[in-house]
Structure 1
Amino acid sequence: MPEQPPYLVVADRLRQRIATGEWSPGDRLPSRSEIGADYQVGENVVRRAQELLIAQGLLEGRAGSGTYVAEPRERLRMVRSWCRDQRGGSPFRADMAGVGKRGTWEHRTEAKVPAPASIAARLGIGEGDPCVRTEYEFLADGKPVQLSTSWEPYSITGGTIVVLPEGGPHAGRGVVERMAEIGVVITHVVEQPEPRKATAHEAHLLGITKNSLVTHIQRTYMAEDGRPAETADIVIPAAHSEIVYEIPIDRV
């Protein structure tokens, strides 16, 4: 069999030292130059080994401080549920309360943003048509757990009390509840999940390494008249979360 690349060999040895208790959660690892000297490899090899273990959740990097053995982190349960959207209030906050965590979020909204071709196709509007775009960073007990970029056609919400998802009397409510306030009845939602690697920007916001695995969910809410009322790109780090779908069964 071919030999393993040097960074994988170093990663295995670092993993063994953690498993045997030589380094405990919270311990700071020696510098890359020290580890490189131990295994007779360059610092770039050590860096790649550490990045792999960070992506796997065994290590964590702290800017300006070094690399540490990560504290055990339970995977967060992220529920995708139609039942959830009908409870009222924020679906995310309700989900976090269900697992004993405080759900909050930060956001940035821009109005009348021209729809890119891909978004226009998902919303059934013309390329360049105005939309309200909102970028979200969702937090559980203050730690980032999910990103989302939402697009709503200005032709639906423009001039109404719900034009800004995080402004007005219905700020912070779910899409279903907000749209109902202006007579738009949401009948179903379409979600398309797929695995991919995190971009540098996503990794920075989520506190993970670039190219770590994430689940990208393309979500679109559909109104009863067949119009897409909102579409979003949701990004969830795979190592830190498990995604569960809750699907209601219609009774005969």
Structure 2
Amino acid sequence: MSEARYRRIAADIRRRIAAGDWQPGQALPSRALMAAQYQVHAQTMRLAYDLLRRTGVLEGEERKRVVVAHPPAVRTLTDVDAEWPFSCETTDTRPRPATAELAERLGVPVRTVLQHETVECLDPGGRSAMLVTTWWRGGRQPHVAVTAELGTVPLDVDQAHALGLLVDAVAFRVVRTRLNAHGTPVETADLILPMDRWTIRLAG
């Protein structure tokens, strides 16, 4: 199979979407039907669809119907401690043992049982805009200061599923740690932000 073939098909589908053959939110024909149209193997069409999903032209889970993506609302993150202004869904609250990284971030022994929650922040259209996974020890405490470090991370299976992206797609990762009046960490969080939906501007 020529790699150029699935890329040519992806480019043609992109052209057809731009020409109005399919509108944002509209499902594309199945991979099998499209493979027949383009006279290629189903695997070639799967690669073309995957490429279009990675580049934000299509959205939807692997092995399910895909739709033409709406242009993402691009937001700018300037305050990592701000409350999310739209709806959120808490998806996981199971306590977790502290990994070596989390133990260092919170100043606790490795394998200390931490409270934990993962929250999916939704945009006004109901699309996942950000995942926030937070860990803390004991009861939640007030904080007076926040530190933030910006990096990138490949998405794991759960993150990719929630955000409608491919596993191992690269996203922004903001490590946010909240500190009490003594400068002791009381809570740490990973903010996972899709690169097609965010720009980051953090104060120095």
Number of the residue aligned with 2:178? 221
Q: Is the 8 A contact 1:108 1:136 kept in 2?
A: yes
Q: Quick one: structure 1 residues 51 and 216, their matched pair in 2 at CA, closer, same or farther if it must change by over 3 Å?
A: same
Q: Pick one of 135, 141, 145 that aligns with 1:151.
A: 135
Q: Distance in 2 between matches of 1:71 and 1:13?
A: 18
Q: Quick one: structure 1 residues 197 and 9, their matched pair in 2 at CA, closer, same or farther if it must change by over 3 Å?
A: farther
Letter of the structure 2 residue corresponding to residue 149 of structure 1: T
Number of the residue aligned with 1:186? 144
Number of the residue aligned with 2:33? 34
Q: Secondary structure at the match of 2:32?
A: helix
Q: Distance in 1 between matches of 2:64 and 2:184?
A: 51
Q: Is the 8 A contact 1:92 1:103 kept in 2?
A: no
Q: Is the 8 A contact 1:139 1:145 kept in 2?
A: yes
Structure 1 stretch 120-129 or stretch 205-214: which is displaced more? 205-214
TM superposition score normalised by structure 2: 0.82
Deviation at 1:110, TM superposition (A): 4.1
Letter of the structure 2 residue corresponding to residue 79 of structure 1: L
Letter of the structure 2 residue corresponding to residue 186 of structure 1: V
Q: Distance in 2 between matches of 1:53 and 1:35?
A: 14
Q: Distance in 2 between matches of 1:186 and 1:27?
A: 47
Number of the residue aligned with 1:238? 195
Q: Distance in 2 between matches of 1:129 and 1:63?
A: 36
Q: Quick one: structure 1 residues 134 and 5, their matched pair in 2 at CA, closer, same or farther if it must change by over 3 Å?
A: same
Letter of the structure 2 residue corresponding to residue 199 of structure 1: D
Q: Distance in 1 between matches of 2:83 and 2:190?
A: 15
Does 2:164 align with 1:207?
yes
Does 2:101 align with 1:118?
yes
Q: Pick one of 109, 132, 136 that aligns with 2:119.
A: 136
- Superposed, 1:162-173 pairs within 5 Å as 163=139
Q: Is the 8 A contact 2:88 2:119 kept in 1?
A: no
Does 2:63 align with 1:106?
no
Deviation at 1:64, TM superposition (A): 8.3
Q: Distance in 1 between matches of 2:55 and 2:14?
A: 11
TM superposition score normalised by structure 1: 0.68
Structure 1 vs Structure 2 CA RMSD: 2.7
Q: Distance in 2 between matches of 1:117 and 1:51?
A: 35
Q: Is the 8 A contact 2:175 2:188 kept in 1?
A: yes
Number of the residue aligned with 1:17? 16
Q: Secondary structure at the match of 2:40?
A: coil
Letter of the structure 2 residue corresponding to residue 57 of structure 1: G
Q: Is the 8 A contact 2:105 2:177 kept in 1?
A: yes
